[in-house]
Amino acid sequence: MKPKMKPLVAAVAASGLLAAGALATLPSQAGILDYFQHDKTVAAADTAAPAPAPAVATNVALAPMTAPNYRQIVKTWGPAVVGITVSGVHKEGNDQMSSESPSPNDPFFQFFRGLPGFQFQPHGGMEQPFKGLGSGFIISQDGLILTNAHVVRDAREVTVKLADRREFTAKVLGSDPATDIAVLRIQASNLPTVRIGDPATLQVGDNVLAIGQPFGFSESATAGIVSAKGRSLPGDSYVPFIQTDAAVNPGNSGGPLFDSNGRVVGINAQIYSQTGGYQGLSFAIPIDVALQAKDQIVATGHVAHARLGVEVQDLTQPLADSFGMARPDGALVSSVDPDGAAAHAGIKAGDVITQIDSQPIAEAGDLSQRIGRSKPGDQIQLKVWRDHAARDIDVKLLAVSSDSAGTPTLASDQHGRLGLALRPLTADERSQASIDHGLMIERVDGAAARAGIQPGDVLVGIDGQPATSVQQVRNAAKSNDKVVALLIERNGDQIFVPVRIG
């Protein structure tokens, strides 16, 4: 059985709660001190032989380390950690995976797709009420609270419970599924707040402390160390996760990760698990990523992410050898959106992006993270390896559209002429289907449904042209008065299906 990435949304049968999940950790603050000291000893001369040159032996010993004062951290900063209870309505899925496998119609599909164990299951059926729980923490005395976006998704009512047992109805100012950050506000004043740390100073091996309400047990503290930094998880995430072994479970989602100095360096968000519970791997969103999203949400109610318009993959040594590169460092461009910023700048499939604004790109995830934290309209310079030589290419980034964010968009005009909800194929889906282009059909109604097209079909072509973008399909539907010829791939076979729209 393969281990599964859990967004920490798990059913808790005993309590009747749908508990919000836990995402991993962030880097802590305070970097590791120099723990090494060197003692030099000189070997004694051998009296039976001529005196040799002194031999120097270096004994390396770990310097003494003072354990973090977790008791004081909990006492001082614990009052700023809150419990979050939500209620609302979910559309019931067709199986038990639905609570942890978002529908592609859901903006969280992009955030979680591609994670080990993630499976898309068709969603439908009746709406069902739910209750859920999570954690959060106060960042301003007038009631501004950070948590995970998946904690409050679909919520119609959000209640925040403070450490002193006071409860407030919270307003969701906005959320960003791409980074899994949400901002809440409660009407209160003179509230306790956390201190913010710097994830950049956190090092692997540093002590960290998580506080939240796993399974509804409020004000629970768990400790661990930073296991890794800058972890890129599957799913085209914009987040360079901090990996820790601090125990987090359903209900910890949105809670703070403290460094050994009591500063918040991350927001617990995901776990890697075969059971739905903690198994030694948890991941947190760095606090600087969260605050960048928070600033946009407070100012505008949403977060705008930049988009390059490419699909990338990691290099292997054999691929690097074939491109004439000494090391497998960089992001290999596997496909280019013809309407994207990269295409406009001249980026091609087969290019290897090795730097962005003079900063090295070691893996494909590095590129996604840096582009995602840029703003639409930003000018960047990419160093690209092409034809056994490096070149610089200037690119003006575009905004992420619903088409590129993994959220299906109706490929029709306002009157619904086709009735298709489409999204671009992922790299894995293209590989499995052995095609280099196409659009996944997620929902069907109207004319397309009458023509026999089904969810799960792949739209390969339209009116004799390759189907490469949702906008292209939308334009074709608008320009045709009677019949649109769709080339569909289903179960490995391709068929033309005429769709009457006139």
Residues with Cβ within 8 Å of residue 348, at least 6 apart in sequence = 333, 336, 386
CA distance 111 to 103: 11
Query: In the beta sheet, which residues pair with residue 136?
Result: 82
Residues with Cβ within 8 Å of residue 419, at least 6 apart in sequence = 410, 412, 444, 445, 446, 447, 448, 449
The residue annotated as part of the active site, out of 98, 253, 260, 368, is 253
Helix (H, G, I), strand (E, B), or coil: what is residue 294?
helix
Strand 36-42 relative to strand 56-62: parallel, antiparallel, unpaired?
Answer: antiparallel
Helix (H, G, I), strand (E, B), or coil: what is residue 300?
helix
CA distances for 48 relative to 53, 54, 57, angstroms: 15, 15, 21
The residue annotated as part of the active site, out of 176, 180, 259, 288, is 180
Helix (H, G, I), strand (E, B), or coil: what is residue 374?
coil
Calculate the CA dihedral of residues 331, 363, 105, 466 and round it to 10 degrees.
20
Q: Percentages helix, strand, coil for the chain, rounded to the nearest 5?
A: 15, 40, 45
The residue annotated as part of the active site, out of 106, 150, 366, 374, is 150
Helix (H, G, I), strand (E, B), or coil: what is residue 222?
strand
Burial of residue 240 (number of CB atoms within 10 Å: 0-12, 13-18, 19+) = buried
Count of alpha carbons within 13 Å of 284, Cβ hemisphere only? 41
Closest CA to 344 of 304, 284, 397: 397
Q: Are 38 and 302 in contact (CB under 8 A)?
A: no
Residues with Cβ within 8 Å of residue 288, at least 6 apart in sequence = 198, 199, 200
CA distances for 35 relative to 60, 63, 108, 223, 376, angstroms: 9, 5, 42, 21, 44
150 is catalytic: yes
Residues with Cβ within 8 Å of residue 459, at least 6 apart in sequence = 420, 422, 438, 439, 440, 441, 467, 473, 486, 487, 488
* Residues annotated as catalytic (active site), given as ranges: 150, 180, 253
